[in-house]
Structure 1
Amino acid sequence: MTEPRWQTVAYKRRALLALLVLGQTTFGVWLLSHSLSMTQQGWPAVLLVVLFSILFTWIGLGFWTAVFGFAMLRRGGDPHSLSRRFSGCAGAGSFKGRLALVMPVCHEPVQRSLGNLQAVYQELEDKGWHNQLDVYVLSDSQDPEVWLEEQATCAELSAGMAAGNRLFYRRRRVNLNFKSGNIADFLRRWGARYRYMVVLDADSLLTASAIEKLVQLMEQRPRAGIIQTAPRLVRADTRFARLQQFANRCYGRIHSAGLAAIQLGDANYWGHNAIIRVAPFMAHCGLRKLRGWGLFRGPILSHDYLESALMGRAGFEVWLEPAIAGSYEESPPTLGDDLIRDRRWCRGNLQHLVPLLTMTKLRFAHRLALLTGILAYLASPLWLAFLALSGYLAMAGTPVSQPLPGLIGVSSTGWNLAGACLIGLTVTTLLGPRILALVDQCLARRERLFGGRWRMAASTVIETLISLILAPIRMIAHSGHVAGAVVNSSLRWQGQNRTGAGGLEEALQHFARPALVCAGVLILIQWFSPNLTLWALPVTIPVLIAPLLTVWLAGKRTGQQMVIPEQASPVPVIARASMDHPQNNRLPSLSWFEQTVLSPRYHCWRQRQPGPSGGSKQRVLNALVNQCAAQGPDALTSSQISLLCDHPKAMQSLHLKAWQSEPDSPWGRALARLSLNLSPIQTATHTHRNQPEHSPWIGVAS
């Protein structure tokens, strides 16, 4: 019997999912309509039912996806996944093409992010991949103190590689179209050299076995355009990150399995920890700027979902393969950092409304993915509107003598049966995936990886309680993100905080205003309808204590209460990334720019040397050199320093002038600081200020 096409299987699974979700929503709407009292009829009640149906469909989709994942894991995995269908095939060993390992960065912690890249490359080098692999660091950093360190660190990494000429550093001087523009710039210049590229984020880690498996599947499935792994969260140092990590490792297994089972070859690309077939990606996945107004004008921030949709439109498959182990990333260390990242994602996801409505020939699954991405953030203002409308109906239709509003299942005469059933259905829908995840871990005999059955259950209870406390905070914050996107408020694109910290002052900057608004709302509720104050507390108290809660969650974890599998079975690539950071050759008393000017032996120019400058540009460079030589680096802006650093001849001229400067000048004082960090022999060599031929300028690598 021939194997059924995956499209047919996918249609059947999606039809079943739709039937289950819509059936549950219909039942929930029926219960809600029967729980509303006669005094609560009219347009507010109709609007409440509409909001409820949207939100209940949303949470029902997550619940039944988890059920699908649980069912697939119980049968030993999805037989239609690429990992199962090609599990015994050898493809990577016979791979004769070239592979690019690409890491876009933008103002990231340099030593940490490039330490991750070093760990991944060393694993591949140990497996003998260095002859088929090129590594690219694609920088959008504009601060010269950051990108000079990136260049210097890449030079150190290159020197330590078996094939040192396989690492390339490229910094864009003009940051067009954010990360997608950075990748596009790489592909225009060098994409034709490679059959596949593996895209990493600054916090990504992939084992050599995972990359080999991705290449193998690509070789065996020519119609696969993108294969996405399901990254596990690791290296959590704060309480907040630890909670996120436990949730990902304990519950994420059934969610990713369910998502993969429903999407099959119509999955989504998540922007990192994935392999891409370069030729069709270059041909079909270019992103045009939006030509609308406000939010819907300019480059698309969230490029990944749209790129997978374009790949699918071109006839290529996109697969999510959670069975591929060895894919890791990190969680934002604090709640504030998590919400800052969500602000970018919110704006990018809302921009998907334009291609969702205007782009032709997209597959239905990819349209649905774009829609769910939009709803992921619209759900928060919808929940807020639902709660506000519920409170209005309770105040308008509930007598003062009634202790609790009939809307939520309790009336003056006792329990409203329909409302009570609705509460039970809602709780089951929200908490059911966690229960299924615990059952799955126990049935798979994986509970020991989480410290045993009882510790895993206790960790789940703690994580669930804190998630419930954080839910109102996220709702308020995401509602603000949506409002900011709608009015097109300014958004700064910058690197993420990866290492924690953050005190009360920073927390107050994030949450003081929402806390004050929430306090005002609570006072009004107590003033006009004191019977509702009790029901408002679960929503308002978390927002009121958000600054203190954020500071506590940002603290370093104490002990190992929440155990994850990587603790029971350490992964070499994680251990290597945690211990072996690239050597940092920055001298402690000098900035990177001062060090580059005075002692370029610590810095290797890896970018293409610009052509000869003439005319007005040369006059500008000469003026900057003279100004910097006379007044020091503080006299220049970051963009002016970057302009100098991009022109080696100008830097050489500045180097000679700096070494001939007077002792009491800015560069003279910098030279004094430099001498404190050099050995006596180096100091003797460098003190020939009036003999420039002894300077340590090393030239420019073209």
Structure 2
Amino acid sequence: MADQPWYTVARRRRWLLAALVISQTLAGLWLLQQGLPAGAPGWAAMLLLVVFATLFLWIGLGFWTAAFGFFFLRRGGDRWSPDHQCPEEAGGELPRTAVIMPICHEPVQRTLNNLAATYRELQQRGDLEAFDFFVLSDSEDPEIWLEEQAACADLCARVGGHRRIFYRRRRIRLNYKSGNIADFLRRWGQRYRYLVVLDADSLLEADAIVRLVQLMEHRPRAGIIQTAPRLARAETRFARLQQFANRCYGRLYSAGLAAVQLGDATYWGHNAILRTSAFMRHCGLRRLRGPGLFSGPVLSHDYIESALMGRAGLEVWLEPSIGGSFEESPPTFEDDLIRDRRWCRGNLQHLWLLATLDRLRPVHRLALVTGILCYLASPLWLGFLGLSGYLGVHSESPPPVLPGLVGGSASFSGASHLLMALTATLLLGPRILALVDQALARRTTLFGGAARLLASAIGETLVALTLAPVRMVTHSVHVTRALLNLPTGWHGQNRTGSQHNRTQWRQFLWPMATAGAILVLVHWQAPELTPWALPVIVPVLATPLLAHWLARPVPARGWWFVPEDFRRPPVLARADAGAGLAPLWPGLSRFEQRVLAPPSAEPAARNRQDLHGSKQQRLARLVERCAFGGSQALSAPEITLLCEHPEALRALHYRVWQAEPGTPWGRVLERLAQTPERHTEPAGIGIEEMEQQWVEVAS
């Protein structure tokens, strides 16, 4: 890529960024060294300097990235961005593109309403012929994947998606989301020039998708173009705070990242377009073969895939100027920490990949390091505070983070205060720059006016500062669990906030216990340090109360206004207005509905050829057991096996309709007889026909 004109520009910008970050870090180190207490143990002082340098580099990188973004936004954008260099095109035939949505135990109706909104926008725009939509399920619970099937069939009927919307559930779940996408690409990837990847909470406007395709056509060396998704549809206080921060501060960070990285950007795993052939050729991920944590599937695959694309000589771009790209925030603080637990484990795996993958570009290596530091920074902050306290106890004067606690010289106090002012500037500076940017761009009315914008920013900052110690302790626990290779659950995310009237105390037990133990230790060993420990410890101990308050719903326009409150994009309105699937028989489980009304079409050939020998005998035993004991007599995998073989399902169907009163299925029939109204499946494509279409596509 060194032969590309943008690369020389990127190299100059990166050297400037490095010079600014290193200079600021050296200045901070000098101030820290000036304020080191007299008589401080040498090893502790040296370790404190090393930890401080790492953390100061980390926060400085964020500050100067935002400063770069502020500069380029004030200039009207970056002329080297793909969107700036590729003129808008009207009309023209678009190449074949697959829009895929990998899901696993997600809220079915909410997820498919998102997909339906994007589908209808493309339909209305007149560009639908170039796109096929695929729902790729990894759900194991039969009640969930049976609802997914029925909802996809209903969606096809509602939007006229015959032979354009497909549902597929993997029987063998390997390598999580990346394995799901890889499985799709191995079978059908060669049919499509491009691949648009969505998450279960993703929304893309039709204009955004078409623009992404146009940019890929304009830049044949581009392997990935990533949008900067905006948070939307916040329903709780926590989600509202996250949404405000994303909309108010996020544009500085994304503009700065795009300006520094240019064609060496990172891929975030969704709301992006991929060049299918290049992705298939270069971005396959093998299972890790290291010890403990560093074995098994790669969990955080997206950064690695962009690094592999760059290693192959292809470009990866972040294009924040493309609007109409949305995603959702976790609705509660608990859900956010649960997601961080998974991401922490995945990002720490990158330590092994940094050591074993060769020929990675320096910018992509730096991206992997910053992803690791997102979580290692928390135990480093804890270590920094602990070392500062240790020096305060074992020195003749207090350490620089504890000025004036037990006295000290004026020169020491001055250096310490200057260091704290510099640290506060680096931490809060991006927020101040963002507010100035919104004011200069005359966008304050989009946030409810200048006064409300300022008040919202102050409120968000105070909440963020309160939650920072909680994140520090919790992330430290996550890092410890990951390094010890303790198991981490990987389930579908809660996206609605409806589960959080009951705060999950168990999620916070370890952080609270850790904080309590630290407070007891500090008060026992150095009571004079207790007042300095309380601002860090008290928020952690009060986490359940904070989480409960943040999980409360808020009116859509009640707190922390964002532009979408004043002008709601049509794609969001379509998704919110999407219809839900009416059950065939309310009060019956999805499996009971499938047994009472199984698909009527001939089963696919792949199911017929499985039914002989020991498998046929096993299915016969399952039918017999379920006919006598009801659905509760089978485990979830056994129900799945029955539903995957229509002949066995129909055999159970005939047995069930002949069930005697008082038997498990007899009671189901009694509930069915008491149902006041029977809802029929929508006219149009049915589940079995949709599955048959998938077989035809595969052939």
Is residue 111 of structure 2 the alignment partner of residue 117 of structure 1?
Answer: no
The amino acid of 2:456's aligned partner reads S
Distance 2:32 2:162 in 1: 66
* Aligned-residue offset at 1:360: 1.4
CA distance in structure 1 between the partners assigned to 2:110 and 2:647 by the alignment: 32
Counterparts of 1:30-109 in structure 2, within 5 Å, are 30-86=30-86, 88-90=87-89, 93-109=91-107
> What is the distance in 2 between the residues matched to 1:396 and 1:119?
63
Relative to structure 1, is the Cα distance of residues 602 and 56 closer, same or farther in structure 2, using a 3 angstrom cutoff? Answer: farther
**One-letter code aligned to 2:539:** P
Q: Where does residue 226 of structure 1 map in the other structure?
A: 224
Q: Where does residue 439 of structure 2 map in the other structure?
A: 442
Q: Distance in 2 between matches of 1:576 and 1:515?
A: 42
Amino acid at match of 2:69: G
Deviation at 1:73, TM superposition (A): 0.1
> Given the superposition, is the C-alpha separation of residues 481 and 586 from structure 1 closer, same or farther in structure 2, using an over 3 Å criterion?
farther
Number of the residue aligned with 1:177: 175
Match of 2:402 in 1: 408
Rounded to whole Å, the distance in 2 between the matches of 1:626 and 1:496 is 36
**Between 430-439 and 380-389, the greater mean CA deviation after superposition:** 380-389
Larger mean Cα displacement after TM superposition, 105-114 or 160-169: 160-169
For 2:601 and 2:45, how far apart are their aligned partners in 1? 68
Residue aligning to 1:484: 481
Partners in 2 of 1:139 and 1:367 — Cα distance? 32
Contact in 1 for aligned 2:601/2:689 (Cα 8 Å) = no
Residue in 2 that maps onto 1:689: none
Q: CA distance change for structure 1 residues 309 and 645 in 2, over 3 Å: closer, same or farther?
A: same
Partner of 1:36, secondary structure, is coil
Question: Is 1:321 matched up with 2:319?
Answer: yes
On the 8 A contact 1:309/1:362 being kept in 2, the answer is yes
Residue 176 of structure 1 aligns to a residue whose secondary structure is coil
Query: What is the one-letter code of the residue matched to 2:536?
Result: V
Counterpart amino acid of residue 409 in structure 1: P
Deviation at 1:588, TM superposition (A): 2.7
Aligned Cα RMSD in Å? 2.1
The match for 1:589 is: 587
Aligned partners of 2:18, 2:64: CA distance in 1, in Å? 9
Letter in 1 for 2:471: R
Aligned to 1:687: none
SS at match of 2:102: strand
The residue aligned with 1:466 is 463
Paired with 2:281 and 2:688, the residues of 1 have a C-alpha distance of 41
AA aligned to 1:73 is: L
Which amino acid is the alignment partner of residue 335 of structure 1? F
Contact kept? 2:189, 2:276, Cα under 8 Å: yes
- Aligned equivalents of 2:110, 2:55: Cα separation in 1: 40
Aligned to 2:131: 133
Give the superposition deviation at 1:607.
Answer: 11
The CA deviation at 1:121 is 0.8
Distance (Å, rounded) in 1 between the aligned partners of 2:41 and 2:608: 73
The 3 A distance-change label for structure 1 pair 29 and 278 is same
Match of 1:253? 251
User: 1:300: how far off?
Assistant: 0.2
Residues 135, 167 of structure 2: 8 Å contact kept? yes
Structure 1 counterpart of 2:545? 548
Aligned equivalent of 1:263: 261
Identity between Structure 1 and Structure 2 (%): 57
Deviations 1:477-514 (A, max 9, x none): 11111111111111221100001144576431111332
Unaligned runs of 5+ in 1: 683-695
User: Cα–Cα, structure 1 residues 442 and 69, in superposed 2: closer, same or farther, change >3 Å?
Assistant: same
Query: Does the 8 Å contact 2:41/2:394 carry over to 1?
Result: no
- Whole-Å Cα distance in 1 between the matches of residues 679 and 301 of structure 2? 53
Are 1:430 and 2:432 counterparts? no
Counterpart secondary structure, 1:308: helix
**Contact 1:113/1:203 (8 A) holds in 2:** yes
- In the other structure, the counterpart of 2:206 is 208
AA aligned opposite 2:217: E
Kept in 2: contact 1:604–1:700 (CA 8 A): no
Residue of structure 2 equivalent to 1:533? 530
Kept after mapping to 1: 8 A contact 2:36/2:399:
no
Q: What is the deviation of 1:561?
A: 2.4
| Counterparts in 2 of 1:120 and 1:154: CA distance versus 1, 3 Å | same
On the 8 A contact 1:51/1:386 being kept in 2, the answer is yes
Equivalent in the alignment of 1:497: 494
Q: Name the counterpart of 1:675.
A: 673
**Which letter does structure 2 place at the counterpart of 1:538?**
P
* 1:558-614: CA deviation from partner (whole Å, max 9, x where unpaired): 552210000111101001111213423253310000011112369999996453411
Q: Which residue of 2 aligns with 1:636?
A: 634
Q: Deviations over 1:393-413 (max 9, x none)?
A: 1111156xxxx6554333345
- The residue aligned with 2:371 is 373
CA distance in 1, matches of 2:468, 2:395: 28
**Residue type of the alignment partner of 1:184:** A
* Unmatched 5+ stretches in structure 2: 681-685, 693-699
| Equivalent position of 2:310 in the other structure | 312
CA separation of 1:700/1:612 partners in 2, compared to 1, >3 Å: closer, same or farther?
Answer: farther
Amino acid across the alignment from 2:654: L
TM-score scaled by length of structure 1: 0.94
Indicate conservation of the 8 Å contact 2:392/2:402, yes or no: no
**Contact kept? 2:40, 2:394, Cα under 8 Å:** yes
**1:154 and 1:169 in contact (8 A); partners too:** yes
State the distance in 2 between where 1:321 and 1:697 align. 38
Structure 2 SS opposite 1:202 = coil
Q: Match of 2:697?
A: none
Residue 265 and residue 608 in structure 1: after superposition, are their counterparts in 2 closer, same or farther (change >3 A)? farther
**1:698–1:75 Cα change, 3 Å:** closer
Describe the SS at the equivalent of 1:138.
Answer: strand
Give 1:313 shift.
1.1
User: 1:408 corresponds to which letter in structure 2?
Assistant: L
> How much has 1:539 moved relative to structure 2?
0.4
Deviations 1:176-197 (A, max 9, x none): 0000000000001110100011
For the 8 Å contact 2:32–2:400, the answer to whether it is kept is no
C-alpha distance in 2, partners of 1:171/1:632? Answer: 25
CA distance in 1, matches of 2:500, 2:122: 40
2:567 corresponds to which of 566, 569, 580: 569
Secondary structure of the corresponding residue to residue 546 of structure 2: helix
The answer as to whether partners of 1:332 and 1:498 remain within 8 angstroms in 2 is yes
Q: Structure 2: how far apart are the matches of 1:230 and 1:96?
A: 23
1:517 equivalent in alignment to 2:514: yes
CA shift at 1:416, angstroms?
A: 1.1
Residues 701, 340 of structure 1: alpha-carbon distance in 2 compared, 3 angstrom cutoff: closer
Preserved CA contact (<8 Å) 1:309 1:366: yes
| One-letter amino acid of the structure 2 residue matched with residue 379 of structure 1 | A
Worse-superposed segment, 100-109 or 365-374: 365-374
Structure 1 counterpart of 2:538, one-letter code: I
Pair 622,219 (structure 1): closer, same or farther in 2 beyond 3 Å? same
Partners of 1:584 and 1:607 lie apart in 2 by 30
User: Separation in 1 of the partners of 2:263 and 2:384?
Assistant: 36
Task: Give the equivalent residue in structure 2 for 1:217.
Answer: 215
Secondary structure in 2 matching 1:542:
helix
| Cα distance change of structure 1 residues 652 and 4 upon mapping to structure 2, 3 Å threshold | closer
Aligned to 2:14: 14
What letter matches 1:150 in structure 2?
A: E
Matches within 5 A, 1:657-668: 657-668=655-666
Per-residue Cα deviation, 1:326-372 (whole angstroms, up to 9, x for no partner): 00000001111001111111111111112211211111111111111
For the residues of structure 2 that align with 1:486 and 1:332, how far apart are their CA atoms?
A: 25
